[in-house]
């Protein structure tokens, strides 16, 4: 067996102290040694520089040696998925290529410009700090980063390297899951979450299966996982992915995940806006499933009451967000109409704020679409309800249409900032290319507005144009399916606006 590779801890001393290998007290703004010797202190390394250190080569070598000690088979050749065409072995894979993938992943999905609020996976550094350069997590981040880089920069040769990394991550993940101790580590769950991003570049069905696997792992981890703040954040991510998967496959939210959600309330603030948004979203999933499959079990009034309660709950969330994460609306008729629809754009404090706002709007839109469908059912019922009930249904329907239209306009107004054309501190003349991270953030919002029953033909055509840009610039396969659905709705739309909305359309 080869001797273990001992990795020296990266020095956090200032530049002068590192150069002469002396003890540094790490004082700020200048270390004490530099001050005593009247030297100009060059400062300290960026923390993210330490995170980005290239450990890919060591990880690959260590993983290969472990595998050879078992059966002498190269790790990459064990993957048998038909959709992965791999080279015989990854010896030609340069560590710098793998590190490019890791760096790209961090920049677009974790930090970006060293800002902790850009990426929605901004808790990964804490996982790395706890478990070190776990081979599964490093390989998964490299795989996602490389496939995203390949698509955004039109470098198809990087796709092969991405698939090799994906294969490594899957093999390493299977080994970890076979060990009761390893399978419960945060780095393993974080690897599964990261690989879920990779599945966005495959197809929707693969992504759903991956989400179901992530949910199963969360259940296996049990109640003790919530003692870590990072674990709660990862649970939130898996819960959010499962909500989307259930909404689009006509399934109720899993009972075992609901039980874990109740347990997690003991370890977090159950009244925080972000936590409540997830709780209400699980109720939204079950409401949609009930309307699809149990309409005949209850009168329409029952479902309308349920939908109205959820509408009120999500309106509360939006109201709180208006206080905690306010944004500024700008109307500028001279702004590029291809970027700002009708000259309107909204400016948020961060991309994270946009994500939370649009997630809440998506859930409110789904509930309002359910209400739209139910109220049309009341107005079409035979025999018709009493005149008072008809009048009430028409008034509620009008309110619902206004809610849907407002939500759609608000989500469209987030596009310019996601594209990088505007921001809290600038008005940029950058390209209207959303890129991978922007496309990942926008695609679901644009899809929801595009299929909404009250969206105008003009707005839908604008949305289709941006969805096509995302497909072209990001290569996200799931975006292709969502775009096709919106295009079908556009092609089937008549010049006269329809007033009915069927459960099948809600499910699409």
In this predicted structure, the answer to whether residue 175 has a pLDDT above a threshold of 80 is yes
**Residue reference for tokens 């921001």:** 423
Q: What is the CA radius of gyration of the chain?
A: 25
pLDDT of res. 161: 84
Can you state the percent helix, strand and coil of the chain, rounding each to 5?
65, 0, 30
Residue 360 token pair? 């809440």
C-alpha to C-alpha distance for 173 and 193, rounded to whole angstroms = 12
Tell which wins on pLDDT, 68 or 492: 492
* Count of H-run helices and E-run strands, the chain: 22, 4
Give the residue extent of every domain in the chain.
13-43, 299-494
Kindly tell me the burial class for residue 232, based on how many C-beta atoms sit within 10 Å of its own C-beta (0-12, 13-18, 19 or more).
middle
In this predicted structure, the answer to whether residue 435 has a pLDDT above a threshold of 60 is no
C-alpha to C-alpha distance for 4 and 7, rounded to whole angstroms = 9
C-alpha to C-alpha distance for 121 and 137, rounded to whole angstroms = 13
Quick: pLDDT tens for 195-220.
887 877 777 888 888 899 899 999 98
DSSP code at position 422: E
Using the Cα atoms of residue 452, residue 458, residue 462 and residue 465 in order, give the sign of their dihedral: positive
> What is the pLDDT confidence band of residue 146, given thresholds at 50, 70 and 90?
confident
Percent of the chain predicted with pLDDT > 90: 32
Q: At what angle do helices 157-177 and 56-71 cross, to 10 degrees?
A: 60
> What is the pLDDT confidence band of residue 159, given thresholds at 50, 70 and 90?
confident
Q: Are 238 and 195 in contact (CB under 8 A)?
A: no
C-alpha to C-alpha distance for 449 and 246, rounded to whole angstroms = 19
> What is the pLDDT confidence band of residue 327, given thresholds at 50, 70 and 90?
very high
In this predicted structure, the answer to whether residue 452 has a pLDDT above a threshold of 80 is yes
Residue 328: in which H helix or E strand, if any?
strand 328-331
Contacts of 311 (CB under 8 A, 6+ apart): 364, 367, 368, 371, 403
Q: Is 116 helix (H, G, I), strand (E, B) or coil?
A: coil
Contacts of 201 (CB under 8 A, 6+ apart): 147, 148, 151, 475, 476, 477
In this predicted structure, the answer to whether residue 252 has a pLDDT above a threshold of 90 is yes
Look at residues 112, 113, 170, 175 and name the one whose alpha carbon lies nearest to residue 140: 170
C-alpha to C-alpha distance for 19 and 253, rounded to whole angstroms = 57
Look at residues 241, 188, 377, 200 and name the one whose alpha carbon lies nearest to residue 301: 377
CATH-assigned architecture of domain 13-43: Irregular (4.10)
Contacts of 67 (CB under 8 A, 6+ apart): 73, 74, 75
Kindly tell me the burial class for residue 68, based on how many C-beta atoms sit within 10 Å of its own C-beta (0-12, 13-18, 19 or more).
middle
> What is the pLDDT confidence band of residue 310, given thresholds at 50, 70 and 90?
very high
pLDDT of res. 308: 94
User: Pairing mode, if any, of strands 422-423 and 426-427?
Assistant: antiparallel
| Lowest mean per-residue pLDDT among 93-102, 227-236, 408-417 | 93-102
DSSP code at position 413: T
> What is the pLDDT confidence band of residue 5, given thresholds at 50, 70 and 90?
very low
Quick: pLDDT tens for 409-427.
999 999 998 887 887 765 5
Whole-number Cα distances in Å, 298 to 5, 290, 358 = 65, 10, 31
Q: Count other C-beta atoms under 10 Å from residue 314's C-beta.
A: 27
- Could you tell me which residues are beta bridge partners of residue 422? 427
Quick: pLDDT tens for 355-394.
899 999 999 999 999 999 999 989 988 888 889 989 999 9
Segments in 345-434 forming alpha helices (H): 351-380, 387-412, 415-418
Whole-number Cα distances in Å, 428 to 116, 336, 419 = 21, 12, 10
pLDDT of res. 73: 29
| Lowest mean per-residue pLDDT among 16-25, 79-88, 299-308 | 79-88
The model scores a pTM over 0.75: no
């Amino acid at each position: 067996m080869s001797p273990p590779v001992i990795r020296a801890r990266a020095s956090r001393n200032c530049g002068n102290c590192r150069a002469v290998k002396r003890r540094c007290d790490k004082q700020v703004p200048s270390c004490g040694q530099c001050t005593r010797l009247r030297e100009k202190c060059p400062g300290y390394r960026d923390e993210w520089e330490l995170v980005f250190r290239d450990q890919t080569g060591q990880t690959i070598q260590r993983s290969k040696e472990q595998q050879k000690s078992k059966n002498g088979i190269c790790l990459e050749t064990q993957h048998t998925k038909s959709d992965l065409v791999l080279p015989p072995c990854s010896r030609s894979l340069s560590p710098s290529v793998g590190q490019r993938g890791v760096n790209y992943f961090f920049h677009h999905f974790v930090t970006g410009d060293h800002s902790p609020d850009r990426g929605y996976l901004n808790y990964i550094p804490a996982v790395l700090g706890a478990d070190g350069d776990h081979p599964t997590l490093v390989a998964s981040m490299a795989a996602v980063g490389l496939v995203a880089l390949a698509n955004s920069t039109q470098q198809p040769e990087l796709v092969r390297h991405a698939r090799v990394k994906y294969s490594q991550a899957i093999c390493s993940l299977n080994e970890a899951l076979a060990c009761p101790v390893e399978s419960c580590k945060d780095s393993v769950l974080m690897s599964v979450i990261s690989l879920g991003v990779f599945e966005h570049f495959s197809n929707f069905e693969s992504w759903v299966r991956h989400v179901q696997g992530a949910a199963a792992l969360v259940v296996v981890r049990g109640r003790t996982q919530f003692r870590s703040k990072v674990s709660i954040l990862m649970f939130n991510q898996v819960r959010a992915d499962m909500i989307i998967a259930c909404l689009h496959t006509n399934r109720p939210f899993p009972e075992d995940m609901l039980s874990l959600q109740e347990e997690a309330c003991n370890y977090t603030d159950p009244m925080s806006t972000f936590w409540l948004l997830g709780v209400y979203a699980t109720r939204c999933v079950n409401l949609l499933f009930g309307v699809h499959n149990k309409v005949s079990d209850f009168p329409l009034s029952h479902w309308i009451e349920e939908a109205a309660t959820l509408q009120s709950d999500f309106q509360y969330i939006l109201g709180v967000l208006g206080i905690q994460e306010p944004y500024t609306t700008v109307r500028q008729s001279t702004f590029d109409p291809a970027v700002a629809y009708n000259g309107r754009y909204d400016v948020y404090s961060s991309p994270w704020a946009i994500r939370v706002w649009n997630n809440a709007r998506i859930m409110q839109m789904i509930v309002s679409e359910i209400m739209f469908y139910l109220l049309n059912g009341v107005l079409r019922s035979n025999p018709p309800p009493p005149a008072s009930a008809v009048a009430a249904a028409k008034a509620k329907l009008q309110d619902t249409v206004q809610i849907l239209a407002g939500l759609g306009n608000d989500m469209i107004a987030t596009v310019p900032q996601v594209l990088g054309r505007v921001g809290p501190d600038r008005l940029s003349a950058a390209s209207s290319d959303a890129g991978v991270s922007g496309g990942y953030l926008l695609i679901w919002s644009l899809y929801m507005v595009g299929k909404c029953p009250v969206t105008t033909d003009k707005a839908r055509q604008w949305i289709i144009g941006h969805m096509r840009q995302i497909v072209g610039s990001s290569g996200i396969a799931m975006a292709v399916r969502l775009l096709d659905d919106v295009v079908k709705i556009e092609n089937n739309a008549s010049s006269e606006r329809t007033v009915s909305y069927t459960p099948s359309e809600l499910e699409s």
